[in-house]
Amino acid sequence: MNLNLLFQLAVSGFLMGGVYSLIALGLSLIFGVMKVINFAHGEMMVWGMYVTYTVFLWTGIDPFFSFLVSAAVLFILGYLLQRTIVNRILDSPEAMQVLPLVGMAMVFENSARIIWGPDYISPQSRFSLSSLSIGNLMIDVPRLLAFSLAIIITIIVLFFLKKTDTGKSIRAAADNRTGALLVGKDINRIYAVCFGVGTACVGVAGGLLVPIMPLSPHIGAPFTMISFIIVILGGMGSLTGAMVGGFIVGIAESIGPELITGLFHGISLGLDFPNTMKQVVSFLILIAILLLKPQGLLGGRR
Amino acid sequence: MMKKIYFPLLLGLIVLLILPQFLSSYVLGVFVLIFYYAYLGQSWNILTGYTGVISLGHSLYVGIGAYATTYLVMAFGLSPWVGMWIGGICAALIGLVIGYLGFRFGLKGVYFVLLTIAFAEIGRLILLHLKVFGSFQGLFITPKYSFLSFQFKDNHAYYYIGLGYVIFSLIVVRLIERSKIGRYMVALREDEDAAESLGVNVFKYKMIAIGISAFMTSLAGAFYANYLYYLHPGTLMSMAFSIEIILRPIIGGLGTVLGPIIGSFLITPLAELSRSYFARAGYEGLHLVIYGFLLVAVVLFFPRGVISYIKKAVAPVLGSLK
């Protein structure tokens, strides 16, 4: 096995992990407050990607600035989605909560296909192909930028939740819905804002991914799955857990295929574990965590 | 009440048996799809409708059935009529593994949904990389038209086989519903803790449900492979296909014998028409947007499915049949 290559992959996975954390943060926030799983999370991220891409196409503003437009658009989408659909299913049995959001995932995925076409697009922005080298290590500049911005946005979201009035209301509603109602909070508005913030997170992540990976309407579902895995790994509703899980999954996906191929060759099996199967690594992590510690690494009670 | 329903059902069956004489090959094809989805919905219904355990990974079992049957033909020349049962056993075993992992460790609701999706995705990715099955190109099957090879030149044969599948599933579900097993399943769906406290072995009946459901679902895979002559994990084992499977029973009425069939008769022709119409108009995928909204609307406004309305409308008519 090539240690240098593994290290390279680990760094690149770590950087990707920053973006994963942000995606999972959105999902975890929504779950923590409303106990609803947003099955349309990845598809909404794809909308974030396309919004940023469209702004880039029309005005030439670099995706690393125009991701803010995605955040705004996705906040509005999330707010409306909560008001129209999610709010009606909050007290339904879990089965009935899953299906409408799966339905919305189909709506988002296929409307993106109708609006922006079915083909893969990779926009060339200013930083697209540049890279830094530190010793033997090569670092993609877009990845580094996406990572740094994702971390900054994550900190802003956490700050918003800790310090602002709305953020405090959201946390209050998460802790005790009836209590928040009793002290006169408009719980429906808080829920809608919270859902909006959650989807805005994923919108930002989508915008940041535009320079890193090609866009297509159908790449959403794997991201929905990855964000679930991260949230379950970190512990449902735990925001710190979502961040830690994001890095673990990012690194595991990046080095997993190489590591397993090395393992196969080590025990003289002529098998390869291609990079296109990297999702299997995350699914194996999911199965392992569901069986060993279903409450997640940092989760408390379930 | 239940006896009275057999008469209209028998009438419907006779109509369906004679109908192909008057239909064009295209319309027959639509009927074949109606039967195919009714059968799949019915098989899914056994698990989700009766025990309340949601699976969003049933495409996995269809894939196992299709690939196992095809592999047995390719490697040993075994007729699909035999191979499909072996595929069914494979699918049932995998279903039991998933069930064991899920139920033994108390995964409920969303957690179990995720487990089923994870297994389906792993299955899809593994099959996508197997060279025997043409990996990313998919597998083309050269048909040898004969009864033994389950391959026929015209749609009439598929029509009757499809109808046979549906009748088979109806009988199985009705038998389950009437038996003790079915009652236990419904009991644990309504309130798992209460059922368990009354001595129902929840684990056992969930395992039975997922085993039968996986087995039945995979039999449809053999039909699919020998009807379309082309297999690709990207379509056959995708999550979109799993959603196609669950859509019809949900619209028809979950946990009822006739719900999946009514749902399929309603949705499949609409789906076929809208798919080809929108594709020609240049809006490929629009029918899936409509599906999505339909799923939302049904759950929000008609959670008991179309069948509850039909029952209300038909009850007086049936009553007068005395």
* Digit-coded pLDDT (tens) for A48-64: 999 988 988 888 788 88
Q: Where are the domains of chain A?
A: 3-120+134-292
Residues A217 and A49: their CA atoms lie apart, in Å, by 10
Among partner residues B243, B286, B291, which is closest to A114 by beta-carbon distance?
Answer: B286
Within chain B, which residues score under 50 in pLDDT? 1, 322
Structure token pair of residue B215: 């087995």
State which H helix or E strand residue B152 sits in: none
Q: Where are the domains of chain B?
A: 2-319
Q: Quote the pLDDT of residue B1.
A: 47
Contacts of B66 (CB under 8 A, 6+ apart): B87, B221, B222, B224, B225, B231, B236
> B295 contacts in A (CB within 8 Å)?
99-100, 102-103, 106
| C-beta separation of A275 from A257 below 8 A | yes
> B284 contacts in A (CB within 8 Å)?
113-114, 118
- Radius of gyration from C-alpha coordinates of chain B: 20
Cβ–Cβ below 8 Å for B118 and A99: no
> B292 contacts in A (CB within 8 Å)?
103-107, 110
Cβ–Cβ below 8 Å for B293 and A37: no
Asked whether the predicted pLDDT for residue A138 surpasses 70, the reply is: yes
- B43-100 pLDDT, tens digit per residue, is 999 898 888 888 888 999 999 999 999 898 888 888 888 888 999 999 999 999 999 9
A262 min Cα distance to partner chain B (Å): 18
Q: Quote the pLDDT of residue A33.
A: 84
CATH fold, domain B2-319, is: ABC transporter involved in vitamin B12 uptake, BtuC (1.10.3470)
Predicted TM-score of the model (pTM)? 0.85
Cβ–Cβ below 8 Å for A106 and B125: no
Residues B40 and B32: their CA atoms lie apart, in Å, by 12
| C-beta separation of B295 from A99 below 8 A | yes
- pLDDT-derived band at A268 (thresholds 50, 70, 90) equals low
Domain A3-120+134-292: top CATH class: mainly alpha
Task: Tell me if chain A has a CB within 8 Å of the CB of B279.
Answer: no
Task: Look at strands A137-140 and A131-134 and give their pairing.
Answer: antiparallel
- B108-123 pLDDT, tens digit per residue, is 777 888 889 889 988 8
Alpha helices in chain B (DSSP H): 2-18, 25-51, 59-76, 80-104, 110-128, 155-178, 180-190, 192-197, 202-228, 233-236, 239-252, 259-280, 286-301, 306-319
| C-beta separation of B106 from B220 below 8 A | no
State the amino acid at position A224 in one-letter form.
T
Residues A55 and A67: their CA atoms lie apart, in Å, by 9
| C-beta separation of B58 from B185 below 8 A | no
> A225 contacts in B (CB within 8 Å)?
114, 117-118, 121
Terminal Cα distance for chain B, rounded: 10
- Cβ-in-10-Å burial (0-12, 13-18, 19+) of B275 comes to middle
* Averaged pLDDT, A166-175: 82
